[in-house]
Structure 1
Amino acid sequence: MDNEKNRFSARAARYMRVGTNVGGLAARAAGSRLLGLERDDTRMAAELATALGGLKGPLMKVAQLLSTIPEALPAEYARELSQLQSAAPAMGPGFVRRRMAAELGPDWRQRFADFDITAAASASLGQVHKATSHDGRALAVKLQYPDMASAVEADLTQLKTIFAIHARMNPAVETSEILKEISARLREELDYDLEARHTRLYGAIFANEPRIRVPEIVAELSTRRLLTMTWLNGRPLLDYKDAPLDQRNAIAQAMFTAWWFPFSHYGVIHGDPHLGNYTVFEDGGAAAGINLLDYGCIRTFPVGFVQGVIDLYKGLLRGDRDLIVHAYESWGFRGLSDELIEALSIWARFIYGPLLDDRERVIAEGTTPGAYGRQEAFTVHKILREKGPVAVPREFVFMDRAAIGLGGVFLHLGAKQNWYRLFNETIEGFELSRVAERQRAAFVAAGVPLPDAA
């Protein structure tokens, strides 16, 4: 017990030290600008990464998110931050027993037929244990680390300081809305009750889709800081990198549906499509579909934003500039010059590119997962530097992150599809009023709050 107390005390001290170090970097950046001195951004970025490197909290997830938005951070900062590790070491048996007792009471162990005290997986907010219910079901028990609300607030304070450093560098992107969006989503990830409701929402959406499996929540074994659900057996997605093309394509089609169908029909996305949030289940020894895991980062949208995404697609497909501009404005972009519209459209054509091309192809030709979007980001970076700044609306942040993440997964798989047909089949018959009706009915049934502007 003393060792665990020491670990948490060390973490608190580390946050204090990091705050001091990051604050010092901010002061130096401000001083350089005030005195007209040249700044070595590469060196300062490396110092920032060093200052943050001891943390194992949500800020590391944020770094990966920001690396997908051109100019949200200087390239040197994004590169350094993206190399930091996001995983946390699992806590020991004594910690688990105390945390489980705090959530379910002193008789918590009797509520399971079996409970593996050793974590099956660990992450930045908590860890997962495998268990068995008294009716024989295999369970995944997600247990949040203590005092994570303080850790998240500390990380958000560091993020605010990082953005403040950026703001002193004549930035091409105004980040105030980005900070609000990231803050809201990270705070939501602490609420396992909300995650349970999001899981039920996806379970209802895909109730009749055999290619996509969603875990079932066990409410009587769940709290705001403990989430118990059915365990879904499957293999890591990267196990299929060398599988026959038809199996890789089957996985890609299921993933495409898992992302685009909820968005276009209900105004909701799974906002964190990295490789660890999917496993693959088989039928007859071949890949048959995906297990969609982890509903801590779900983003819901007003139906007007969904219409804007469809409008932008149609505008790009037809070369209709007025519709393209209307779509950006419906997203929340304001005061766009011709140059900024062109910069946004370069990025939009990259994101939508495979969906505009009516042929069978890989998601991005002539590139690798690590380089996905790099050339386009460089071009956008140059225009924004010269013609910006542009204020990025909140809704754009996780939409962009999810689209980039999804494309990266398709690249890892080497899937080859007619993405144009897949997308147009998904949005066929799209009507805003029907989306609004479906969203309201499904969200209310699952207990999920409706988006503010819905």
Structure 2
Amino acid sequence: MSDMDSERNSLGGRMRRYAKVGTAVGGLAARVAGERYLGWSLDKDAHASELRTALGGLKGPLMKVAQILSTVPDALPKEYVQELSHLQSNAPAMGWPFVKRRMTTELGPGWQKRFATFEHEAASAASLGQVHRATLDDGRLLAAKLQYPDMSSAVEADLRQLDWIFSIYRRYDKAIDTSQIHAELSARLREELDYAREARHMALYRGMLADEPGVFIPDMVPELSTSRLITMTWLDGTPLMKFLEGEPSLELRNAFALTMFRAWYVPFYFYGVIHGDPHLGNYTVRDDGSVNLLDFGCIRIFPKTFVKGVIDLYRALRDDDEALAVHAYESWGFQNLDRATIDVLNVWARFLYGPLMEDRARRIQESGSGLYGREIAEQVHGELRRLNGVRPPREFVLMDRAALGLGSVFMHLKAEVNWYRLFNDLIEGFDADAMEARQTAALASVGLDRPD
């Protein structure tokens, strides 16, 4: 079978996927509908645990969607968020016979001779593919990231199932209109299937972060890469939770927090680009507290108006400038906002911007417990439901994902940093037109266009 035949978005592939996914998540829609319309009692904790167990062994994008939704406030009930948040990057790997077939498809029948060594066991496995260690004759240690077969069909089937789940959820809870969330997830997941695009993202980040000494990005090996295989240099590092098990000093934890902050937000404020997935499997900690960035599939490119709106809202909250806050929300695409809805949105905004308002070293969250932002999200959710809801613009999906994901990292680190100075150093002298010019040049240098 040709590469095109095996990878195309086929009707048969989608139907097979519907069957698999339906087994895992079909009960969610049925049970929620039963609770809403028939008065059934839904044990959300137990059902959420069952859902996580099912998704954990299910290859493909639905697992990644679950990870993303677990950190988007109010996209799903908290019981599901708590369980889905446990889905990490280490799904069960596919075996060596599968790997040999897939590598032959990508590099041809003599592919093994192009490596000095290629480990049979995967070093890690995630939702869309798995990574194998390898070496070249010149001694370079490599990571070969190989996509699972028929992922295009899986993406389309899973997105259709997700739309179904969202439609059921909207019927019993109208606080958040999820239509734009689905649109954004659809666009980004389809992009993630294209490993050639991810390789360009990697080159983009290497350029944007060239002056950041604490951030390391792999080098791609083009002759051993395709649209379904990325071969890159291997970067040694320690996963965050294992790093914390070693009880590192506050100084080292703070150093890592500072580097993570700059790794995510230098690209955003200087180029209008953000890494939308601070997932634990997407970076590792080096011995000196610097960071390896390992995955570049989930990247979002923003127009200058959106980035300016982020800064405008910060200044509006800092200066108690209601008109500027309204302008910021409208520049993002919020529509028909009344005073009460703006006040509720400001509650969430003050939570996110809170650490940036005080010129002192502090932890990212100094009160509360559990998932980062969960208590405030529940408060905001309740008020929005009372006010007949709101439709968040699609750009917020990955922006909120980044903010909450990084906040969770900083909370785990118990880092004590002057976030105010970090942020104000980045936005000092911000010029939207200059940012757009830098963005245009950076994208053109790696052959990327702005997304839809």
TM over 0.5: yes
> Does the 8 A contact of 1:177 with 1:392 survive in 2?
yes
In structure 2, C-alpha distance between the alignment counterparts of 1:281 and 1:82, rounded to whole Å: 25
Deviations 1:98-144 (A, max 9, x none): 11111011111121122212211111111101111233211111011
Match of 2:231 in 1: 228
Residue number among 271, 274, 281 corresponding to 2:279 in the alignment: 274
Does 2:451 match 1:448?
A: no
Match of 1:216 in 2: 219
SS at match of 1:152: helix
Structure 2 letter corresponding to 1:356:
M
In structure 2, C-alpha distance between the alignment counterparts of 1:44 and 1:17, rounded to whole Å: 23
Deviation at 1:13, TM superposition (A): 5.6
> Does the 8 A contact of 1:42 with 1:77 survive in 2?
no
In structure 1, C-alpha distance between the alignment counterparts of 2:243 and 2:14, rounded to whole Å: 38
> Does the 8 A contact of 2:89 with 2:280 survive in 1?
no
RMSD: 2.5
Deviation at 1:420, TM superposition (A): 0.2
Deviation at 1:11, TM superposition (A): 11
Structure 1 letter corresponding to 2:213:
P
Q: Aligned runs of 1:65-214 on 2, under 5 Å?
A: 65-83=68-86, 87-214=90-217
1:416–1:73 Cα change, 3 Å: same
In structure 2, C-alpha distance between the alignment counterparts of 1:50 and 1:199, rounded to whole Å: 31
Structure 2 letter corresponding to 1:323:
L
> Does the 8 A contact of 1:325 with 1:341 survive in 2?
yes
Does 2:397 match 1:397?
A: yes
Structure 1 letter corresponding to 2:444:
V
Q: TM-score, normalised by structure 2?
A: 0.90
1:349–1:89 Cα change, 3 Å: same
In structure 2, C-alpha distance between the alignment counterparts of 1:421 and 1:245, rounded to whole Å: 19
Deviation at 1:279, TM superposition (A): 1.3
> Does the 8 A contact of 2:361 with 2:418 survive in 1?
yes
In structure 1, C-alpha distance between the alignment counterparts of 2:220 and 2:88, rounded to whole Å: 30
Q: Aligned runs of 1:406-421 on 2, under 5 Å?
A: 406-421=406-421
Which sits farther off after the overlay, 270-279 or 22-31? 22-31
SS at match of 1:391: coil
Match of 2:254 in 1: 249
Match of 1:6 in 2: none
Match of 1:342 in 2: 343
Deviation at 1:280, TM superposition (A): 1.9
Structure 2 letter corresponding to 1:193:
A
Deviations 1:398-446 (A, max 9, x none): 1001100001101111111100001111111110111011000000001
1:186–1:317 Cα change, 3 Å: same
SS at match of 2:438: helix
1:17–1:418 Cα change, 3 Å: closer
Deviations 1:130-185 (A, max 9, x none): 11123321111101111111222222122111101112214211111110101111
> Does the 8 A contact of 2:151 with 2:193 survive in 1?
yes
In structure 2, C-alpha distance between the alignment counterparts of 1:21 and 1:306, rounded to whole Å: 38
Which sits farther off after the overlay, 67-76 or 435-444? 67-76
Match of 1:386 in 2: 386
Match of 1:3 in 2: none
Number of residues of Structure 1 aligned to a counterpart in Structure 2: 437
1:106–1:295 Cα change, 3 Å: same
Deviations 1:5-32 (A, max 9, x none): xxxx999867415427755664675577
Q: Aligned runs of 1:357-368 on 2, under 5 Å?
A: 357-368=358-369
1:110–1:13 Cα change, 3 Å: same
> Does the 8 A contact of 1:251 with 1:280 survive in 2?
yes
Unaligned segments of structure 2, at least 5 residues: 1-11
Match of 1:5 in 2: none
1:56–1:296 Cα change, 3 Å: same
Deviation at 1:59, TM superposition (A): 1.6
> Does the 8 A contact of 1:142 with 1:228 survive in 2?
yes
In structure 2, C-alpha distance between the alignment counterparts of 1:382 and 1:353, rounded to whole Å: 21
Which sits farther off after the overlay, 261-270 or 133-142? 133-142
In structure 2, C-alpha distance between the alignment counterparts of 1:67 and 1:343, rounded to whole Å: 22
Which sits farther off after the overlay, 191-200 or 205-214? 205-214
Structure 2 letter corresponding to 1:59:
L
Deviation at 1:43, TM superposition (A): 5.0
Structure 2 letter corresponding to 1:93:
W
1:250–1:75 Cα change, 3 Å: closer
SS at match of 1:228: strand
Q: TM-score, normalised by structure 1?
A: 0.90
Deviation at 1:236, TM superposition (A): 2.1
In structure 1, C-alpha distance between the alignment counterparts of 2:286 and 2:238, rounded to whole Å: 7
> Does the 8 A contact of 1:90 with 1:119 survive in 2?
yes
1:444–1:99 Cα change, 3 Å: same
Structure 2 letter corresponding to 1:251:
F
SS at match of 1:269: strand
1:79–1:255 Cα change, 3 Å: closer
Which sits farther off after the overlay, 170-179 or 402-411? 170-179
In structure 2, C-alpha distance between the alignment counterparts of 1:178 and 1:26, rounded to whole Å: 18
> Does the 8 A contact of 1:121 with 1:127 survive in 2?
yes
> Does the 8 A contact of 1:14 with 1:55 survive in 2?
no
Deviation at 1:73, TM superposition (A): 2.4
SS at match of 1:449: coil
